[in-house]
Amino acid sequence: MKLFKYLLVITSFVFTAYVAAEPLASWQEGTSKNAIMEFVKNTTTEGSKDFVAVADRIAVFDNDGTLWAEQPAYFQLFFALAQVKKLAPAHPEWKTTQPYADILQGKMPAHVTEKDLVELVMNTHTGITSDEFTQQVSTWMSSAKHPVTKMPFTDMVYQPMLELLTYLREHDYKTFIVSGGGVEFMRAWAPAVYGIPSEQIIGSRVASEYKVVDGVPQIVRLPKLDFNDDKAGKPIGIYQAIGKRPVIAVGNSDGDREMLEWTKAGNGARFSMLIHHTDEKREWAYDKGSKIGGLDKALVQAKKDDWTVVDMKSDWKVIYKK
């Protein structure tokens, strides 16, 4: 009996170690997982015709809808809504001005144009120092909950994608975020959540200026868009920040199409992948026609240009981080 118990303990230990070491454990066995692992193997094995030098192993990821959820609205918008309520006492005119009036009444603003969204961001994200903005985002993120799931926003990151980031880094790939979201907003929390340092985060940004405020040198955020890191802006942002074409690119919407297209067009082995939201029970199901994360042209191009398409319902064992 003692020998049996001893063997049972040893077997359990070995199995636990195996599970812990299993790469992409939250991915179902199938085409998508196999494509990822085969590509990484081929590009990191010396002597392989597809071998990529460590210095060139660049992998870029969209954030909203790719690394974490994005429905029913981009999470940065929820931060902006919270800031409207916080700043309202200094803006009595907002009580009768849309979309601020709806926000102050606890409603999700209706019929909001892109111009309205830009103005909303400018009025809630600027006019303060970079340090103040980072603190505001960090404070909000520490307690804010998603309106539907009631989960902290940072718990709504995708476990399979966290595993993919780790897997790539274990094979000497440098991982970057390339998002249409605000770069300063993401840098306040993303390094701790994804293990990606702030200098490897690329995003949209507002204009800034250097000022000495009360005797302290500061970067002050101005109410003007400096760079929109979306669609064709993504390859430009990558080129300006990294200086080379990625080997791997992952996105989920038409806003990522140019990034995946540019990556795949490079010489040598290249890998472009789309995350397709197909799981209406564990997450959301949407693509063509969705106002958030619309996926139409990129899905068509994926078939034509041999991009890997991940079906969340069938390819992922779990959705959110464990």
Query: How confident is the model at residue 114, as a pLDDT?
Result: 77
163-175 confidence digits (pLDDT tens) = 999 999 999 999 9
Q: pLDDT at position 17, please?
A: 40
How high is the pLDDT of residue 7? 39
Tell me the domain boundaries of the chain: 25-315
Nearest Cα neighbor of 292 from 255, 320, 257, 237 is 255
pLDDT at 5: 43
Residue appearing with tokens 């034509």 = 304
245-248, long-range: CB within 8 Å, 24+ apart, which pairs? 245/58, 246/58, 246/59, 246/60, 246/176, 247/43, 247/52, 247/56, 247/57, 247/58, 247/59, 247/173, 247/271, 248/39, 248/58, 248/59, 248/60, 248/168, 248/173, 248/272, 248/273
Helices 257-264 and 297-305 sit at what angle, rounded to 10 degrees? 10
Reading the block at residue 11, the tokens are 């077997």
Sheet holding 308-311, edge to edge: 216-227, 201-213, 174-182, 58-61, 248-251, 271-276, 308-311
**What amino acid occupies position 221?**
R
Q: What does the pLDDT read at residue 120?
A: 93
Give the pLDDT confidence score for residue 18 in this predicted structure. 39
Helices (H), the chain: 2-21, 31-44, 75-87, 100-104, 114-125, 130-141, 159-170, 183-187, 190-194, 233-241, 257-264, 297-305, 312-315
pLDDT at 111: 73
pLDDT at 110: 76
9-50, pLDDT tens digit by residue? 444 443 334 344 689 999 999 999 999 999 999 999 999 999
Residue 79 phi, psi dihedral angles, 5° rounding: -65, -45
The rounded distance, in Å, linking the Cα atoms of 2 and 8 is: 10
What pLDDT is stored for residue 276 in this prediction? 98
pLDDT of the residue at 117: 83
How many whole angstroms separate alpha carbon 198 and alpha carbon 223?
A: 22
Is 0.95 surpassed by the pTM of this model?
Answer: no
Structure tokens that stand for 29 in this block? 């066995």
Q: Which residues, in sequence order, are bridge partners of residue 274? A: 251, 309
> What is the DSSP secondary structure assignment for residue 21, as one 8-state letter?
H
Question: Among 3.40.50.300, 3.30.750.24, 3.40.50.1000, 3.40.50.2300, what is the CATH number of 25-315?
Answer: 3.40.50.1000
Indicate the pairing of strand 308-311 with strand 271-276.
parallel
What pLDDT score does 43 carry?
A: 98
pLDDT at 168 (0 to 100): 98
Determine the Cα–Cα distance for residues 101 and 84; give it in Å rounded to an integer: 10
Question: β-strands 271-276, 248-251: how paired?
Answer: parallel
CA dihedral 81, 82, 88, 89 (to 10 degrees): 180
CB neighbour list of residue 17: distance below 8 Å, 6 or more residues apart: none
Backbone angles phi, psi at 256, to 5 degrees: -105, 0
Maximum distance among all Cα pairs of the chain, rounded to whole angstroms: 79
**Cα–Cα distance measured from residue 33 to residue 27, given in angstroms and rounded to the nearest whole number:** 6
Count of C-beta atoms within a 10 Å radius of residue 220: 17
Averages of pLDDT over runs of 10 residues in the chain (322 residues) are 43 41 94 98 98 98 98 96 96 94 89 82 96 98 97 98 98 98 98 98 98 96 97 98 98 98 98 98 97 97 98 98 90
